[in-house]
């Protein structure tokens, strides 16, 4: 085969897809196109170990830099895909090169959502998505005593806030919702993270929005809130979500909604074009609808699944959404897709110690679970979600009732 399998995207999904193609015995040409001038890397260290100073930069790499050459994978770093012609089976790079493909994987990821207020482009306004972003933040947070304003109390915003506090900075978090993580966890569990950050000295401003960035000489000196108050700031970190990188797919006429839509085998609406990772809105057999997941575990597992599908293997990607976070001394894992309005049942006391929270829908079925400083329960939590059966809330809250017995009883 002379026409290569082309992977567009130099993140975890793309690198794992390339690795899987070779592991599955594919001997044809493979080209991996990475927009950044870096070997493919994972993103969790950027807001965790690398930002905290507990992990080296190079530890973020998915595979050793020499792996690509050793396995005859043509890695093109610093090359961005700018066009896609599905009829001609060709992708156009920013260099002007037109690269033919026999199979194409879109693993283009997502880009940080920008703050749409005056002054948002001032020097000292940061986002955290790329290794270069992390490099800048590591330098910004060196030493201590700076005034840091974090806009957005989502996962990235809270992890950056925790790292800034660990480095000795004064931190204010501004969030328009009533609690951190309100749209994901709802009010009760959002308060867990509100208490956590306030107990570590963070000035958490909820139900508050940023109206502008104050930068009289082009350099950040503060932010203006919607009530008119000005917060002094030496550094502003914006963490208000991401937008899937769907540009070439949209221009090529692929089916795109909140991401590039695929079937359960990760095939897009265009022949021989697949999608995986943050950019993919993949039909999920359990939920019966497209699901787009922006977390590490999805990229880790969906990239290999797409590679197998590209090879003609039977694939039905049905893993549950899963993510984890580390903030200060707290560690958590979350599985499933709960909704803020669902009933929350806790096993343990969320105010004073380790606990596991479960989201129950109106029929009493577990839709998600979050274990906080409780370990080795993810498999049981996921089994409860997959069962789709009603569960007795009292038994769910009882620490003496094994979770496995609830799955069996259902």
Give the DSSP per-residue string, 126-155: E--SSHHHHHHHHHHHSSS--EEEEE--SH
- The answer to whether position 274 is within a domain reads yes
For residue 386 the two structure tokens come to 């997959």
Domain range enclosing 364: 329-409
- The answer to whether position 144 is within a domain reads yes
Q: Quick one: 230 and 130 in the same domain? A: yes
Each residue of 108-159: pLDDT tens digit? Answer: 999 999 999 999 999 999 999 999 999 999 999 998 899 999 999 999 999 9
Give the CA radius of gyration of the chain.
22
pLDDT of residue 144: 84
Asked if the model's pLDDT at residue 410 lies above 60, the reply is no
Asked if the model's pLDDT at residue 27 lies above 90, the reply is yes
What's the mean pLDDT in 257-272?
97
For residue 395 the two structure tokens come to 């038994």
Residue 341 CB neighbours (<10 A)? 10
Show which of 219, 238, 257 is a domain's final residue.
238
- The answer to whether position 62 is within a domain reads yes
- The answer to whether position 118 is within a domain reads no
Show which of 216, 238, 260 is a domain's final residue.
238
What's the mean pLDDT in 241-252?
96
**Helix residue ranges per DSSP H, 203-361:** 247-251, 296-310
Residue in the structure block whose two tokens are 């790292």? 163
- The answer to whether residues 211 and 229 touch, using CB atoms and an 8 Å cutoff, is no
**CATH number of the domain enclosing 166:** 3.50.50.60
Among 110-114, 191-195, 233-237, 351-355, where is mean pLDDT lowest? 351-355
CA-to-CA distance for 43 and 12, rounded, in angstroms?
A: 8
Q: Quick one: 188 and 251 in the same domain? A: no
Among residues 88, 63, 69, 90, the alpha carbon closest in space to that of 8 is found at 90
- The answer to whether position 390 is within a domain reads yes
Show which of 196, 221, 238 is a domain's final residue.
238
Each residue of 338-358: pLDDT tens digit? Answer: 998 999 999 999 998 899 999
Q: Quick one: 60 and 200 in the same domain? A: no
- The answer to whether position 347 is within a domain reads yes
- The answer to whether position 117 is within a domain reads no
pTM attached to this predicted model: 0.95
Asked if the model's pLDDT at residue 1 lies above 60, the reply is no
Q: How many CA atoms lie within 13 A of 131 on its CB side?
A: 18
Q: Quick one: 152 and 135 in the same domain? A: yes
**Mean pLDDT taken over the chain:** 96
pLDDT of residue 376: 94
Q: What is the DSSP letter of 76?
A: E
């Amino acid at each position: 085969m002379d026409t290569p399998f082309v992977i567009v995207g130099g993140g975890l999904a793309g690198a794992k897809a390339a690795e899987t193609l070779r592991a599955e015995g594919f001997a044809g040409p493979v080209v991996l196109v990475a927009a950044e001038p870096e070997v493919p890397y994972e993103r969790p260290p950027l807001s965790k170990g690398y930002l905290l100073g507990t992990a080296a930069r190079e530890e973020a790499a998915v595979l050793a830099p020499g792996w690509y050459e050793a396995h005859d994978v043509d890695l093109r770093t610093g090359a961005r895909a700018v066009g896609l012609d599905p009829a001609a089976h060709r992708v156009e790079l920013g260099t002007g090169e037109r690269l033919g493909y026999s199979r194409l994987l879109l693993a283009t990821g997502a880009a940080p959502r920008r703050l749409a207020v005056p002054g948002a482009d001032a020097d000292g306004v940061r986002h955290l998505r790329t290794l270069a972003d992390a490099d800048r933040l590591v330098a910004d947070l060196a030493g201590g005593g700076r005034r840091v304003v974090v806009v957005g109390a989502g996962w990235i915003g809270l992890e950056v806030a925790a790292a800034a506090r660990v480095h000795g900075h004064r931190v204010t978090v501004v969030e328009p919702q009533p609690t951190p993580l309100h749209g994901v966890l709802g009010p009760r569990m959002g308060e867990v993270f509100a208490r956590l950050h306030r107990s570590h000295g963070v000035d958490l401003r909820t139900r508050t929005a940023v109206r502008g960035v104050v930068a009289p000489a082009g350099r950040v000196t503060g932010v203006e809130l919607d009530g008119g108050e000005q917060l002094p700031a030496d550094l502003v970190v914006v963490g208000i979500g991401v937008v899937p990188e769907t540009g070439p797919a949209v221009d090529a006429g692929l089916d795109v909604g909140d991401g590039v839509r695929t079937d359960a085998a990760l095939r897009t609406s265009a022949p021989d074009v697949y999608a995986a990772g943050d950019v993919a809105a993949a039909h999920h057999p359990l939920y019966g609808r497209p699901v787009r997941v922006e977390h590490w575990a999805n990229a880790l597992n969906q990239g290999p699944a797409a590679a197998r599908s590209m090879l003609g293997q039977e694939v039905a990607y049905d893993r549950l959404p899963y993510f984890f976070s580390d903030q200060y001394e707290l560690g958590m894992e979350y599985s499933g897709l709960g909704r803020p309005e669902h009933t929350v049942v806790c096993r343990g006391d969320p105010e004073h110690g380790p606990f596991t929270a479960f989201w129950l829908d109106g029929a009493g079925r577990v839709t998600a679970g979050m274990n906080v400083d409780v370990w080795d329960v993810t498999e049981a939590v996921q089994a409860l979600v997959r069962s789709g059966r009603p569960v007795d809330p009292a038994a769910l809250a009882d620490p003496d009732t094994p979770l496995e017995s609830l799955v069996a009883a259902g």
